[in-house]
Amino acid sequence: MGIGEMYPEELERYISEKKEGEYLLVDVREVAEYDREHIPGARLLPLSELEGRLDELPGDRELVFYCHSGRRSSVGAVFAQDSGLVKAAIYNLTGGISAWEGKTLGGFPRFEVIEQCGDLYQSLEQAINMEKGTFLLYGTMAGLSSGLPIAKTLQKLSRMEIAHARAIHAYLSKKKQVKPFEELFEESSGNLVEGGWDLETVVGQLGKEGGNPCGFFSELALEIEYRAYDLYRNMAEKATDADLKGAMLFLSEQEKAHARLLAHRLADCFQQHDREGRKS
């Protein structure tokens, strides 16, 4: 059973039709965000603490995860699903509490789904190209976030994208004759970010978010890692070659580990932003 997307208007109908004991709303934001506003009846389980508190989730009730924009909660839903503790349906609230309250989120379009090419090797070469695009994006974001809690994490993630591209190249090298990694990586345009955004479009929007740039960068990176995780998990499920399945599962676990790291940096960002807000 996969994770379902639920829109605000669907959630209103869902709440009105369901009995209280049949579902649970799970808010994965930080304490200060929850205290300012939350959907009535929601239980607070911050994403940075969620994996250590999964046993607090009722395994026999449907779960609806939400956050500010839907980015953090999509990762929270993955943590819950992968735990194996939840037997009922799991949903993510598209657009988060902002959409629930009728607000629109400016900035980036939603990710487009990247379909695998008919040719397996073309799909993997496309994956290398997206790893390069994400490497370039994280490097740019790290430069813009200098002095913020997220900066060092973005630098680390940028380096890891090269390692991921190498892992894909290593598999390709076993199956067909390909150019050396350095040459192939250099020639890749890097025009796409993991998950499907156009790199140029994303870079053009950076610096325009206002408010809490540390939190914004963290949520953006979190969604990228979630989409990469989803892509590699799907490729692993479809793989008939044992080596490919192993490589894709390794990469999907790596992406999930990155999401964990970002979840903790997110907590630091929002706590710092809250402290600064109280001072001003």
Report the alpha-carbon distance of residue 65 to residue 94 in Å, rounded.
9
| Fold: same for 3-100 and 120-279 | no
Rounded-to-integer distance, Cα 65 and Cα 73, Å: 5
Q: Give the tens place of pLDDT for each residue, 223-245.
A: 889 888 888 888 888 888 888 88
* Beta-carbon count within 10 A of 177 CB: 6
Domain 120-279's class? mainly alpha
| pTM for the predicted model, two decimal places | 0.80
Q: pLDDT for 164-193, tens place per residue?
A: 999 999 999 988 899 999 999 999 999 999
| CATH code of domain 3-100 | 3.40.250.10
CA dihedral 63, 67, 69, 73 (to 10 degrees): -50
Whether 272 shows a pLDDT value over 90: the answer reads no
Structure tokens at 95: 């657009």
Mean pLDDT of the chain: 87
pLDDT at 114: 44
- Extents of the domains making up the chain: 3-100, 120-279
